[in-house]
A and B are shown apart, each in its own frame.
Chain A
Amino acid sequence: MTDYEKTELVNAFYQLRSGADMITDMANFHMDYFNMDNIDANQMDIHFNLPNEQDKEIFLVWHRMLMFETEQAMQAINPKLSIPYWDSSADRLETSPLWEEDFMGSFEDNWSLNRNFGHDGLLPSPQSITNMLQMSDFFEFSNFFERQLPHSGAHRWVSGAMVTSASPRDPVFYLHHTFVDKLWHDWEETHDASFYLRTDMLRYDGTYVFDGETLPLVNPNSIVDSRALGVFYAENGLATLDNYIVSNTHLPEELFYYRFTIQAGDNFIAAENTTSHLQSISEVILTPGFLAESGSNFRASIDAETTSLLARNNQQQYPREKKPFDDVELEQVWLWSEGEMDAKDPAVVMQTFPNPFDNKITITLNKKKDCVVEIYNLTGALIKQEFFEFTDIIEINDLYGLAAGTYVVKVVDANGETLVAKKVVKM
């Protein structure tokens, strides 16, 4: 993921947790209806209905709707956002960038999650997932999936809130359940055999109200193909959009935004009187079978904003950047206040100009180049960034209006090299 996507996603989780607090609402709902068999075996619940209670079974489809509800709320914050998936069979280390302070690590203390990696059990192996996808009976597949490591592994391995029925409190729940949902999609693409005995489900029964809005009535059988929700999972740097008719059912403009290459064809139809937009920070390819009907409002574009150097620095499939300060010494603290200071660097000169009206930091580079200024707080979270095109003088006024406190100012060039990183104290 790009820094932009990570920052936006983290911010979106924090936003969902504030105000009406959708995160807590989902965690409480998931907990209240997790499994009712200890109280009343006839009561509807979400988990562990197979193999004997097929008439109550909604595990995969219910979590699909929960991911969709979450993603819609995120897209109301930023239409470019979608929930990435955590492939727990491949991304298995607690040193993974997934857990760093600028991403999922950000929530550990702030939300009291008490994660304890590897405390209780293992993550699934890639082979176990391959084997599972070969099962042919839907209920057997779903039962195996729910109970075995492909689903339960991540809950147990992360531990803390994730090992309890209030697991939606941990943002990684959503990254895990999009992976679960992607695997169900992969299975359905091969077997085309998903079905439910129920035609209704909890929360999405047309009566549940959250934050003044009544959630829709959803028949589980109507969304066994994830296309029904306009969801396409990218893999190996490619998002393949096929067999889909734009309908604007959920949004007035359907935006398919990926950092990966988008390939749309094979009966992807932008229908008359609909509005849709394919946007990539890499490339968009239209192949035979793609159709934008006359009367449709269709666009394909490259996202120039993040194609800048931020994107070029982060082209790996997984977020694999180092921690922001791994590569730099920060022993030198600059007090940014009245009457301070100066420092010398062979390549870079960084100065602050105290001025009663216009506090500013000036950074002078030894030659003109593209660069990004990044401001971090001391936990390593990226707070601000600004792109400077082909320049040798960078001026930052009033530290972007940030509150008094200690920050790290970092300048990175187009090759990802850190030109300067200094602690500054804003009085």
Chain B
Amino acid sequence: MMKTIGVALLLLMLSFLYQEELNFRVANKTKHTLTHIRVFGTNLQGELKPNEQSDYYQTIYNDFTEEAILMVYVEGKNYGIYVPLSQRNNRVTYIIDSIDTINRNILIRMQVDE
């Protein structure tokens, strides 16, 4: 009995660890140059010009300390949006499709890369 529980616990812990390792990058499909990009509490290096994408970043995601939020700074305004989480340990690209700087709207989507 104890052994069964032990195995179940181990599997449970492994499944959490499995989900927590994230590989993501950000792609800029907007017409703007994007700076100060931050995802899962990690500040990305440099800026993204239109049609550029970042390198992949790897992070151990813990949802008590890193927020599943993308922040990005465009033309004097800071935009924030919750990002979808991949259900599996995939590499994903968060594609910023558009940023409407007049109405302050941002549209993103997640692409599973593998």
Contact = CB atoms under 8 A, between A and B. Distances in A.
Interface string A110-130: 001000000011000000000
B80 interface: yes
A147 B82 contact: no
Interface string B10-48: 000000000000000000000000001110010100000
A152 B73 CA distance: 22
Contact of A34 (B43, B80, B103): B80
A97 B35 CA distance: 42
Interface range on chain A: under 10, 10 to 19, 20 to 34, or 35 or more? Answer: 20 to 34
Contacts of A148: 63
Contacts of B84: 120-121
Nearest to A31: B104
B88 to A, nearest CB: 16
Contacts of B81: 163-165
B69 interface: yes
Contact of B64 (A28, A35, A144): A144
Contacts of A347: none
B67 A31 contact: no
A156 interface: yes
Interface in A299-346: none
A328 to B, nearest CB: 39
B73 A39 contact: yes
A28 B65 CA distance: 26
A48 B78 contact: no
A413 B105 CA distance: 46
A35 B71 contact: yes
Contacts of B38: 37-38
Given A38-B37, A38-B43, A39-B36, A164 B79 contact: yes
B106 interface: yes
B104 A28 contact: yes
B92 interface: no
Interface residues of B, number: 24
B96 interface: no
Contacts of A147: 63-64, 67
A148 B78 CA distance: 23
Interface string A166-181: 1000000000000000
A189 to B, nearest CB: 25
A359 interface: no
Interface string B39-80: 001010000000000000000000111010101110001111
Contacts, number: 66
A147 B104 CA distance: 24
A38 B71 contact: yes
Contacts of B67: 35, 47-48, 147
A35 B43 CA distance: 13
A148 B82 CA distance: 12
A147 B80 CA distance: 15
Interface string B81-101: 110100000000000000000
B91 to A, nearest CB: 19
Contacts of B82: 120, 152, 155-156, 163-164
B64 A165 contact: no
A39 B79 CA distance: 11
A51 B71 contact: no
Nearest to B63: A147
Interface string A19-57: 000000000100110111111000000011001100000
Contacts of B103: 112
A72 interface: no
A255 B1 CA distance: 61
A17 to B, nearest CB: 14
A35 B80 contact: yes
Nearest to B37: A38
Interface in A133-151: 143-144, 147-148
A162 to B, nearest CB: 9
Nearest to A156: B82
Contacts of A156: 82
Contacts of A144: 64
A226 to B, nearest CB: 26
Contacts of A121: 84
Given A120-B82, A120-B84, A164-B106, A32 B64 contact: no
A355 to B, nearest CB: 48
> What are the 4 tightest A-B residue pairs by CB atom distance, in nearest-first order?
A165-B80, A38-B38, A38-B71, A38-B36
16 contacts: A31-B80, A34-B80, A35-B71, A36-B78, A37-B43, A38-B43, A38-B72, A39-B78, A47-B67, A48-B67, A51-B65, A120-B82, A120-B84, A164-B81, A164-B105, A165-B78
